[in-house]
Amino acid sequence: MVQYPCPYVSGMDVDTRLLRYFVAVAEHLSFTAAAEELYVAQPSLSRQIKQLEERLGVELFVRTSSSVALTAAGRALLPIARNHIASWRQAVQLVRTTAAAERNVLRIGFTATGGGPLARRARKVFTERFPGVTVEPKRFDWGGEPQALRDGLADVAFAWLPADLSGLQAEVVATEPRWVAVRSTHPLSQQDTVSIDDLRDEPLMWTRVAPREWVDWWAVNPRPDGSAPVWGPANENVEEMLEHVATTSGVCIGPESMKSFYVHPDLAWRPIVDIEPLRIALAWPEHAPNPLVPAFVGVVRELA
């Protein structure tokens, strides 16, 4: 067994990031899967875990060429690490949201076109009724609205479902049909409507940024016949996605509001007639210290 020097524990300060890395590996029992979840390189993750073990003076994992397992020390640390991470996230959320409330600011999160026309009307009505409040729209990565609320980066958000809304209050406030974007010279651009079967052989744009279940829902994976989509290039944001579509044979699926919001001379949008629409939820923390949130929720409910 590898022996690590015993650190001066009472003076030790462990980075919360190291604990997050430890928890990810402990939950997956795989450095590869944990690295994918954390968006870090596997060698870097291994070094960070080794650093944590050296600082604690213990082994947290038993590693073999084919498996990873927690040691007794690792099993003891896991619930404590989870609680520490949760407490720190709660503290970060609280101070960020309290600071916004003190400045009389309401931060409204969204992805791409967000809540569509409803969101824009709600912001307009809210601003008219509360002229002394500063409304700050906050754009986040694909599927990133719920985590932004938990991290205190937004006070309320329009979240595209499916989404992990644990720890949040939420209600569906709008729906939008899903459309497909194709290059203006693509054969599908000659049709008034398309079916999901029409897209069977078309390379589909996607993203590694969003949760996998979110990506699969947008891609309609699996398809009604049980097949998987043909995956095209991955993209970081909607602008990259649409540029790929405009210059390749690939396609992308988005909500109806996207066809109006992102006008592009080399794209054609067509409605997909046989898949379920996007559901848009208004979400906010269960314990929101910003007193402006209930007022905005009320406006959205009124308009919805």
pLDDT of residue 13: 62
* pLDDT tens sequence across 248-263: 889 999 999 998 888 8
pLDDT of residue 11: 43
Nearest-angstrom CA–CA distance, 202 and 47: 41
Q: What's the predicted TM-score (pTM) here?
A: 0.73
Q: Are 284 and 169 contacting, i.e. CB atoms less than 8 angstroms apart?
A: yes
The H or E element that residue 49 is part of is helix 42-56
Nearest-angstrom CA–CA distance, 2 and 164: 40
pLDDT of residue 7: 40
* Domains of the chain with bracketed CATH: 9-92 (1.10.10.10), 103-175+279-303 (3.40.190.10), 178-274 (3.40.190.10)
Q: What is the pLDDT tens value at each position of the chain, 304 positions in all?
A: 444 443 433 445 667 889 989 999 999 999 999 988 887 889 999 999 999 999 999 999 999 888 999 999 999 999 999 988 887 877 777 777 777 777 789 999 998 777 888 999 999 999 999 999 999 999 888 888 998 998 889 999 999 999 989 889 999 999 999 999 999 999 999 999 999 999 999 999 999 888 888 999 999 999 999 999 999 999 988 889 999 999 988 999 999 999 888 888 899 999 999 999 999 999 999 876 788 999 999 999 999 8
pLDDT of residue 27: 94
CA distance readout (Å), 277 to 29, 76, 272, 274: 37, 45, 9, 9
- In sequence order, what are the beta bridge partners of 106? 135
pLDDT of residue 9: 39
